[in-house]
Amino acid sequence: MIWRFDSGAGSDGNYKWLLERGYHALGKGYSGKRAAAWAKYVKRWDKYDEKCWLGDLEPLVDYGCPIKVFIRKRLTKDSYHYSYYATTLRTLSKKRLMYLYNQRGGAEIEQFKSDKGGLHLETRQKGKFLAQEGVVLLTDIAHNLLGNFYRKALESSRFHGYGNKRIIRELLAIPGKLTFKSGKLQKVELISGHINSREMLKCLKKYCSSQ
């Protein structure tokens, strides 16, 4: 299994935690200042695209196992911006590694955007790796539940084009009252003055009948 992650998870401690458990990793380091400092040790820069260059260097941190480190130098207006990457995939070229990194989770780009906006994934940051992993897993559960709700309740309604952000803010936030009996949902009431209440009640009835 190969973990691919951006700078948010790229601390030395997180790298070592993965490597100690036998995982392969390809990730961006968390520190731009470190990348700029390490760039001084690069002896040769190879062009990656019109504004980026890649350079190798010997690992300056002991990760506990053999690892490959490379720096990306990117031109931004009138200055250079540096970032560093570390990986256990030492036999691949820098360009191939950069390509693999850029393709991480490509099929899930829209999901991440939706979860960052609707489920506030980006604002719920934890200092510990396991705590942040827990937040991500809980966000995945919420994402799947919203997807199930959309397919069973909203897909054929006038809300069919809503993403997670609009579902949460405009539909699930409608004031109302839930009535339970013996632990089972018996009745749903929504405030009548809300513009979406009438149609949302139809969707909720459809969803409950499908369970």
Q: Under 8 Å CB-to-CB from 8, ≥6 apart: which residues?
A: 30, 125, 132
- How far is it, in rounded angstroms, from Cα 66 to Cα 19? 10
Q: Tokens 């390490």 identify what position?
A: 38
Asked if the structure places residue 125 within a domain, the reply is no
Judgement on whether residues 49 and 12 belong to the same structural domain of the protein: yes
Judgement on whether residues 100 and 138 belong to the same structural domain of the protein: no
**CA distances in angstroms from 207 to 78, 149, 151, listed in the order given:** 55, 7, 9
- Give the residue from 104, 122, 146 where a domain finishes: 104
- 81: domain CATH number is 3.90.350.10
Judgement on whether residues 77 and 136 belong to the same structural domain of the protein: no
- How far is it, in rounded angstroms, from Cα 22 to Cα 175? 49
Helix or strand holding residue 47 (H, E):
strand 46-47
Q: What is the pLDDT of residue 120?
A: 64
* 31 closest CA partner among 6, 2, 64: 6
* 155 closest CA partner among 113, 202, 188: 202
Asked if the structure places residue 115 within a domain, the reply is no
Q: Which domain holds residue 155?
A: 132-210
Q: What is the pLDDT of residue 129?
A: 79
- pLDDT tens by residue, the chain, 211 residues: 788 888 777 888 888 998 898 899 998 988 889 999 999 999 999 998 888 999 999 989 898 889 999 999 999 888 999 999 999 998 889 998 988 887 765 445 445 555 555 566 656 666 777 888 888 788 888 888 888 898 899 988 989 888 888 888 899 999 999 999 998 888 999 999 999 999 999 999 999 888 7
pTM of the full predicted structure? 0.51
Strands 24-28 and 79-87, bridge-based pairing: antiparallel
Work out the angle at residue 106's Cα, subtended by the Cα atoms of residues 103 and 107, and round it to the nearest 5 degrees. 150
* 60 closest CA partner among 88, 83, 82, 39: 39
